């Protein structure tokens, strides 16, 4: 009788593990953007969760206990890479003790390895430059052309982990590509008025968006990435805005608005709050919704 209890416990654990291995492939993504694309191409064969919410800056997350559970159970971990998750993913991976998703194994996918990153520095990087990402700017999902690349990288890995469903993954990838290309043409034409316009951004996070739609980011509210603006830096910016007749400032929903309001007051610059991620607003549930919302937010400031 004494041995019965441990045997039941052990048996239940084995049963639980066998059950979980038969269910859909469990994908955990560090951001909602990667999660949304993984859902598009994984379809019914995958179950996708995001570790962070699109309403927050993914760089400044912390390894919450609930994340440990999610990573512990994951078959595949998708990360933005390029140092985006450097502050919280390493301790999370250590706590989650899931060998499948450790670097070097098939369950660990640094999506940035499949993207041509912008903003790489070929000069020695110093922290006196602020939060500079030497390996390149990590906000690459904000170019819909990179959406296709992200999907491609994810599908390559899905096929490797789950070859039985290769045909489905490839078909879903092609379908996603077709839909995205079609929508991209619409977004391009909607934002044609913005082409070559100078724009101020709050943080160095919209360079891919600018690259995709042809506008120019000529300055940032932050004097250095991650460093809060000061009165002196704002004064310099006012001068720049006035001298170059810059009409638009773009900012993520989670940043403080005081600096932007101040600039608006002093120069009349229009402030467009752009959702930067899937999930940044309640109505942004897919990767397509994200660009629909961005285009809509920008079009409010189109000259009538």
Interface with another protein (CB under 8 A): 13, 16-17, 53, 55-57, 59-66, 68-69, 72, 81, 83, 86-88, 90-91, 94, 96-97, 99, 102-104, 106, 110, 112-117, 120, 127, 130-131, 135-136, 149, 152-153, 156-157, 159-160, 226-228, 253-256
For residues 153 and 27, the answer to whether their CB atoms sit within 8 Å is no
Helix (H) or strand (E) holding 87: none
Between 59 and 139, CB nearer to another protein: 59
Residue with Cβ nearer another protein (175 or 256): 256
Indicate the residue among 151 and 194 with the shorter CB distance to another protein.
151
Q: Hey, what are 131's tokens?
A: 């939060």
The distance of closest approach from Cβ of residue 297 to another protein in the complex, given in angstroms and rounded to an integer, is 16
For CA atoms 90, 95, 100, 101, the dihedral sign is negative
Smallest gap from Cβ 199 to another protein, in A, equals 20
Q: At closest approach, how far in Å is the CB of 224 from another protein? A: 9
Task: Mention every residue, 6+ apart, whose C-beta is less than 8 A from residue 294.
Answer: 209, 274, 275
Closest CB to another protein among 101 and 194?
101
Would you say the C-alpha torsion 65, 70, 75, 78 has a positive or negative sign? Answer: negative
We find the least distance from the C-beta atom of residue 275 to another protein, in angstroms, to be 11
Please, which residue, 166 or 216, has the CB nearer to another protein?
A: 166
CA dihedral for 171, 150, 50, 105, sign (positive or negative) = positive
Helix (H), strand (E) at residue 48: strand 46-50
Name which of 154 and 191 has its Cβ closer to another protein: 154
**Shortest Å, Cβ 192 to another protein:** 28
What distance in Å separates the CA atoms of residue 269 and residue 246, rounded to the nearest whole number?
7
DSSP string over 101-163: GSTTSTTEEEGGGGS--SS---S---GGG-S--TT--S-GGGSHHHHHHHHHHHHHHHHHH-G
Looking at the Cβ atoms of 102 and 297, the one nearer to another protein is 102
Q: How far is the CB of 156 from another protein (least distance, A)?
A: 5
Closest distance of CB 184 from another protein, Å: 19
Smallest gap from residue 288 Cβ to another protein (A): 22
* CB of 117 or CB of 180, closer to another protein: 117
Nearest one of 178, 226, 176, 220 to 198, comparing CA atoms: 220
Sequential DSSP letters for 143-154 = SHHHHHHHHHHH
């Amino acid at each position: 009788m004494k041995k019965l209890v441990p045997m039941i416990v052990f048996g239940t654990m084995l049963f639980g593990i066998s059950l979980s291995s038969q269910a859909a492939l469990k994908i955990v993504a560090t951001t909602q953007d990667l999660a949304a694309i993984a859902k598009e191409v994984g379809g019914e064969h995958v179950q996708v969760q995001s570790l962070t919410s699109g309403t927050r800056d993914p760089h400044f997350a912390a390894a919450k206990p609930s994340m440990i559970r999610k990573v512990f159970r994951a078959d595949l971990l998708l990360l933005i890479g390029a140092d985006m998750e450097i502050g919280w993913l390493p301790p999370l991976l250590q706590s989650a003790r899931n060998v499948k998703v450790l670097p070097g194994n098939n369950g660990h996918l640094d999506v940035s390895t499949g993207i041509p990153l912008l903003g790489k520095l070929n000069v020695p990087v110093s922290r006196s430059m602020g939060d500079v990402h030497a390996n390149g700017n990590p906000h690459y999902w904000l170019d819909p052309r990179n959406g296709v690349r992200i999907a491609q990288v994810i599908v390559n890995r899905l096929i490797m982990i789950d070859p039985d469903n290769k045909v489905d993954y490839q078909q879903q990838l092609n379908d996603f590509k077709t839909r995205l290309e079609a929508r991209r043409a619409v977004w391009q034409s909607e934002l044609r008025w913005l082409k070559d316009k100078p724009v101020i951004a709050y943080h160095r996070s919209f360079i891919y968006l600018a690259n995709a739609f042809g506008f120019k980011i000529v300055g940032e509210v932050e004097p250095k990435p991650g460093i809060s603006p000061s009165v002196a830096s704002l004064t310099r910016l006012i001068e720049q805005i006035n001298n170059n007749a810059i009409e638009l400032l773009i900012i993520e929903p989670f940043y403080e608005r005081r600096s932007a309001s101040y600039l608006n007051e002093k120069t009349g610059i229009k402030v467009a709050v752009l959702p930067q991620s899937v999930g940044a607003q309640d109505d942004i549930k897919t990767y397509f919704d994200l660009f629909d919302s961005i285009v809509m937010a920008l079009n409010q400031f189109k000259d009538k």
